[in-house]
A and B are shown apart, each in its own frame.
Chain A
């Protein structure tokens, strides 16, 4: 019997494959069973691609490829005919962002670096690879790829037939492969090996210390480009470096970069621009908030559909801690793809990152509801991703010669009623939900034991709903299992007794046997008499009117505005003007601002174009400049991994939406010098910004500014707060040697000839030696101050600024002789050993010795009161009031080499101004208006309007979230929107926000 069957099968296959000569290297433990997979799908509505729709068309496939497609295709003899009447055929989707088939043996992610850990200076990867474990350019996904039917099945169920997969680990992740989701051997499913190269800012599973921060990751990537260039010359001292070689080889491929959010998109694009690479960006999902900047990258994007879940906000004390930014993002996230389409930015879609893959289609429908066109949605799932990696000749549309990857559905692919029946991958059928393939809906005559009833089957294909119509309707429990039918029902007249029928179905009639309520066996039939009248069923709910959505504000948080404030001409009249110039304090004086500059300071000024602000009874000062700040940075403010990290740049990690920027404007701050932290001797390059609230990071930066770098000495550098510091140096003796060594290397580097490896660490140090870059050095005690001065003298440069410098008063004469400025705290002391001799008269003493002295904050809260901190020198040391104010205006401007532009009230300078309600050194003074470049960025009245709007918007969205929950949307617990605040050190900033206070109490909550 079995043999007969096999013989028959063999015969059939022989007929079907008669003209094919299939060859393979693989031996068979059987007789060969070549198959051709010759099918004709007829009567279908076929979308060849997003734009071409064929009605009543035929698709013919053979040997895994499309053979022909069209309205008039003749069905060849020998093809298996599949009638697709009423059904739709689409090219299967392509996911360009996937880790499908990554081997499962992965290393747990850990981070090195921090306090108290052992150090790992170089990679643990065995072999002829590079020094950094996060650079894995040598990874070749096609070589490690393993099919994974469980995962493949899940993706096929969503409609995908092909993915671009890569190992998502590291900063340079190597190359990825285009593979189909077929259940075949790897050889068959890999469509393109080394299809693209992948990168990110995330070091992934690397256990190596470096990098610990976002800016370190960026620096590493940059250096890797340079190292690869240099490696082309085959430097003998490097030997073979397979990582660099692979990085070079991979440059010929499309370059994909994983970003976390809109700002990181810009960061990645900028690094690419520096090296002539256009990255394709895997987006974070909030790009709609800055679509103009996103468009300016000229990049193609891959957009995730992992929109945030609604939260449980019924308890107002929980909801209170969800920020308006997060609430707004919940409301608008699904508008991201539509924003890209509207801005005409090329993009693809990915299912990657969804908590539950089943939310893929519902989320895509949300995106469509928010304005994404269905054509674009389909293109973004087919042609666009195929084109990105040059496989559109194989997949992404249904055309002769392409892979037979297609979906058969019950209706339009994005309709919420549509059932995906089958997903064909490389000509092989994968059933998804076949129950509805056969549409059983219609009117039937049911005959049970001679009794006749009208049976109506409605619902959806695959989800039929049956009723007996006879006067009242009786619901029938109808269960279809392929061709088997089960029906249970209870007649009204005998409601306690269930009638149970079982049978099989053929095309239009069903028949079988069953038991009545009394146990009598009966036979039954059901015959289709007519189709359902159209419209009686599944009446599409009319799409609810376009809901009211919140507006996009700049920045995207409570204190942002729909329009970024604009520069205006301003005339402030009759104010007490503190010029911070030799003119001193001027009573009842006018200041005129035009085109962002101060144009006149005097009495009786007039300008019809100007907004007049009455300054009578008020005080006008130059904007406050904070020499030492850590606000507006993201991804870590310290690159702690090595003692010299001069290659890291704060410029790379500016976060222009940090609400502390606005808070500082409310305290009269107009410029902040954003510094690397103090956890290593030679930290990172700094960035001076103007607090232009609402603009992007690049627009915040000072232009034509002498670049600075952060150095640090003493306890933080020695990691004194840990008992077992593993990182050199551990003493001030070692700190001095780190400095001497670094500059010795820099001098030698400068002497190297052409063809040298461009070393970004040493480049930055060379700039110092060449007086192109300037130092601000975190320092406390006199010995270390003196030591750095001696190192600087030896190498012929000047330490521009000693910052903190709490023992500066002890060596002010030496600092003066060296030519340094001093930027200090007003009265901080006692929080660690190196500050026990700090005195609040320090600023005054240093000033009297002749140093240029500033008061800085190093603290996001205190920065709002720097004017009052300056006033403490009046209190403790009798400093003159104007001199005190200059410590937070012109003095830091001079220190930062921008006194020609800002820091005082003088015609020709930038209009960076603060109008105070009271004497600017008084505890009672409030900034009423803070002006940067002639633009009012903070205004106490406007502030009130923003507060009102925050309350209104919060209420609106919270109500909407509750409604969404009530309507059945899944929600999660309310998660507070707290974030880590950057701080220079770990030892003196505790406790100045609620979150800090809560974190302190965590310990007592979670004791075992």
Chain B
């Protein structure tokens, strides 16, 4: 009897969704948008700070065709979505993650985010990005639709790419390939003996870090000279790998947290004329004016962190975003640690916390949408709900940044309406069936 009920329930579910497959392995990327879609009666949060009440938005050929308040003139053949009482947002952008490069962090065989070697500018994250990761679907259902896939390992970690989260393979997923090169700043801080290598108690660690940095400078000097040559007697993949930094077609992402490290990063970027973005930036609240003056953007490591020191304000990481906002620094947030894949679904709530500690809700939204798009160099087509941009859209029953009310009912990437199921909703259904829970 139960089984029959389940089948009926299953069929109803199938009918009620526009997508075909249901189980994870059968879930497939949505087909290309076939007809215009009109979302109406919505509260639209544009992502650029503006909010439109009682508003509509028209999607055509994967792009935002129109949006505004009031009612839209009827579009023949359009699918109408009534979003009364609902909130419409641009898709959230995960600004630094190893998503798709790892499935379970403790399983070495499946970890593809950290290459051997010290100077890896020739490494490209995009080629290892696994569109079939079970994690991806759990992000989409919380409104995260784009991700910046960042490699780790070495001082120069390699180049990253931006992907959209509904794809058959990495070529499909690619949203912007090799948008930046990543550099791990050496730690420029002394440390207690228990954090030193045995026997290195008297080593000047700041000096050691600066020496390490000098090696990187040397590499960039050589690369600069190499890339000025028209032809090469011998091709050097590593030098070629950073070519885009010199003409700023690629961004220089420097991973560091301390004031001294950020200052050195600025100096390094200025020396070579790189376009600099700081990733991490825990202590960026101490130097927002310097960052602003040098036009440096920050991908701030997770606001849900403990304060850096025992004496720091207990809510410092919650309010660092507000300090950057106040100074006019372009910033977004990320979860870039080892759990930085599955945790991306909490990005909206990390933004929500910043809104509780000094940002307005729209500023917090901008941080994880339009600002992220600007930092990643995709603002022409993503990051906000504006005419002409890709229709990367999330519809939530309530405030997307608050877990109390966030319930994503629909999402679109480039106009394709996503199947919002994931492995977890499927297991949920399975066990609801077991316990006969409706």
Residues of chain A touching chain B, judged by Cβ–Cβ distance below 8 Å, are 317-318, 320-321, 323-325, 557-559, 659-660, 662-663, 666, 715, 720-721, 809-810, 812-813, 827-833, 836-841, 845, 848-849, 860-862, 865, 868, 871-872, 874-875, 877, 881, 918-919, 921-926, 943, 947, 950, 954, 973-978, 980-981, 987-988, 990-1002, 1004-1007
Contacts and interface: CB of A to CB of B under 8 A. Distances in A.
A924 B402 contact: yes
Interface string B373-401: 00000000000000000000000000001
A883 to B, nearest CB: 13
B404 A999 contact: no
A832 B342 CA distance: 11
Contacts of A840: 424
Contacts of A988: 339
A936 to B, nearest CB: 16
A741 B205 CA distance: 50
Most B Cβ at <10 Å: residue of A810, A849, A954, A997: A997
A978 B192 contact: yes
Contacts of A993: 305-308
A830 B103 contact: yes
Contacts of A995: 308
B222 to A, nearest CB: 19
A915 to B, nearest CB: 16
Contact of B104 (A666, A836, A868, A992): A836
A861 B311 contact: no
Contact of A839 (B346, B401, B428): B428
Contacts of B315: 666
B302 A1005 contact: no
B306 A923 contact: no
Nearest to B408: A875
Of all A-B residue pairs in the complex, the 8 with the closest CB atoms, nearest first, are A991-B337, A923-B352, A994-B308, A830-B342, A1005-B186, A839-B424, A832-B106, A841-B428
Could you tell me the dominant secondary structure of chain A's interface residues? loop
Given A924-B355, A994-B309, 17 more contacts: A659-B310, A715-B106, A721-B106, A809-B431, A829-B342, A830-B103, A845-B431, A861-B304, A923-B353, A923-B402, A924-B352, A990-B338, A991-B336, A998-B191, A1000-B338, A1002-B195, A1005-B212
Contact of A875 (B307, B406, B437): B406
B227 interface: no
A988 B189 CA distance: 26
Nearest to A870: B403
A994 B106 contact: no
Contact of A992 (B305, B405, B407): B305
Contacts of A976: 189-192
B192 A830 contact: no
A980 B310 contact: no
A1002 B187 contact: yes
A831 B339 contact: yes
Contacts of B97: none
Contacts of A715: 106
Contacts, number: 219
Counting chain B CB atoms within 10 Å of each CB, the highest count among A325, A923, A998, A1006 belongs to A923
B245 interface: no
B252 interface: no
B301 interface: yes
B342 A317 contact: no
B403 A871 contact: yes
Given A922-B402, A997-B282, A1004 B195 contact: no
A317 B287 CA distance: 11
A325 B404 contact: no
Given A557-B310, A978-B195, A922 B404 contact: yes
A874 B405 CA distance: 8
A1006 B197 contact: yes
Interface stretch (B44-52, B69-77, B256-264): B256-264
B402 A860 contact: no
Contacts of A875: 403-407
B359 to A, nearest CB: 11
Nearest to A992: B305
Contacts of A954: 311
Interface string B273-313: 00000001011000000000000000001101111111101
A925 B356 contact: yes
Nearest to A324: B311
A838 B314 CA distance: 31
19 contacts: A323-B309, A324-B311, A660-B306, A813-B435, A830-B341, A839-B424, A861-B305, A862-B304, A871-B404, A923-B404, A924-B355, A924-B402, A973-B204, A974-B190, A975-B190, A977-B310, A992-B302, A1002-B195, A1004-B184
Contacts of B304: 861-862, 865, 992
Contacts of B190: 318, 973-976
A796 B205 CA distance: 58
Contacts of B282: 994, 997
Nearest to A667: B314
B30 to A, nearest CB: 23
Contact of B427 (A828, A831, A837, A918): A837
A321 B309 contact: yes
B280 to A, nearest CB: 6
Contact of A666 (B208, B255, B314, B428): B314
Contacts of B259: 317, 320
A833 B314 contact: no
Contacts of A997: 257, 280, 282, 301, 337
A955 to B, nearest CB: 12
B173 to A, nearest CB: 19
A833 B338 contact: no
B255 to A, nearest CB: 7
Interface string B173-207: 00000000000111101111011010000001100
Contacts of A862: 304
Among the interface residues A557, A838, A848, A954, which one has the most CB atoms of the partner chain B within 10 A? A848
B371 to A, nearest CB: 19
Nearest to B356: A924
Contacts of A317: 258-260
A975 B191 contact: yes
A88 B280 CA distance: 64
B113 interface: no
B118 A975 contact: no
Contacts of B208: 1005-1006
B155 interface: yes
Given A845-B437, A871-B403, A874-B404, A1005 B187 contact: yes
Interface string B106-150: 110000000000100000000000000011000000000000000
B216 to A, nearest CB: 10
A360 B217 CA distance: 48
A925 B399 CA distance: 14
A39 to B, nearest CB: 47
Contacts of B340: 991
A312 B256 CA distance: 24
Contacts of B280: 997
B154 interface: yes
A323 B306 CA distance: 15
Contacts of B256: 1001
B105 A831 contact: yes
Nearest to A993: B306
Contacts of A813: 435
A674 to B, nearest CB: 17
Contacts of B326: none
Nearest to A715: B106
Given A839-B427, A923-B352, A320 B437 contact: no
A871 to B, nearest CB: 5
A998 B404 contact: no
B104 A833 contact: yes
Contacts of B257: 994, 997-998
Interface string B309-335: 111011100000000000000000001
B154 to A, nearest CB: 7
B106 A831 contact: yes
